[in-house]
Amino acid sequence: MNTETVKGFQDFSGKEARKRKEIRQIIVETFEKYGFEPAETPIIEREEFVRGENKQDEAVSDIFKLQDKGKRALALRYEFTFQLKRLINNKKQPYKRYEIGEVFRDEPISANRFRQFTRSLLNVI
């Protein structure tokens, strides 16, 4: 049995994991200091929702596609902006949110380019 990570993905533990946690905490504290509220969105969405109106966008062409047992076309999120359509429903304006989490791209990898990476995003609507 092969126990190596899938190409383009990596494990973090010990010192590196603690460092990543500390950096994330600094980012969260800074965002909240300026009145941004946290948001969390699903890692898996309907493929049509992920693609949206951006069908020609290169990042959209690199989404990880999935299919569940119900044969629904799903995808791993590749960014956080498309989910804003859903989040702003019934929110008082201006709406200030931040999100930090994992995103995925099914694209060629290199020394500094992975298929899973952490991204943060601030929005004011």
In a domain, 8, yes or no: no
In a domain, 18, yes or no: no
Cα–Cα distance, 48 to 50 (Å, whole number)? 5
In a domain, 25, yes or no: no
In a domain, 3, yes or no: no
How do residues 26-81 score in pLDDT, each as one tens digit?
999 999 999 999 999 999 999 988 887 766 666 677 888 999 999 999 999 988 88
In a domain, 78, yes or no: yes
> What share of the chain has pLDDT > 70, as a percent?
95
In a domain, 1, yes or no: no
Cα–Cα distance, 9 to 76 (Å, whole number)? 14
Task: Look at the chain and report how many structural domains it folds into.
Answer: 1
The range of the structural domain enclosing residue 45 comes to 36-124
Prediction pTM value: 0.79
Asked whether the beta carbons of 79 and 59 are under 8 A apart, the reply is yes
Tell me the CATH number at 74.
3.30.930.10
